[in-house]
């Protein structure tokens, strides 16, 4: 969607035929930035799609952390006895 808006803005800017240091240059520049932002957003969506199912619930995270602490404490006790 953003890419199409950027292309339309570039097309509008090029149709002005007023020169690079005017509204034409500004419209083409903003159009390019909008296209770049659209491409980056699309790549982020393809590479790392985020969904609520991907996230670990907070309770499960705390439970795993507590288990790691208990295991570490047991290992420390074993090394202290030796």
Per-10-residue mean pLDDT for the chain, 82 residues long? Answer: 90 85 88 94 79 72 89 81 62
pLDDT for position 11: 92
pLDDT for position 73: 85
pTM of the model: 0.55
pLDDT for position 23: 86
pLDDT for position 31: 94
31 close to 7: Cβ distance less than 8 angstroms = yes
Give the separation between CA 49 and CA 40, rounded to whole angstroms: 13
């Amino acid at each position: 969607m953003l890419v199409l808006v950027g292309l339309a803005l570039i097309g509008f800017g090029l149709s002005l035929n007023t020169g690079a240091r005017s509204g034409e240059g500004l419209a083409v520049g903003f159009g390019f930035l909008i296209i770049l932002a659209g491409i980056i957003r699309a790549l982020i969506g393809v590479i790392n799609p985020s969904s609520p199912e991907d996230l670990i619930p907070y309770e499960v995270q705390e439970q795993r952390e507590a288990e790691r602490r208990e295991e570490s404490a047991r290992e420390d006790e074993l090394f202290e006895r030796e």
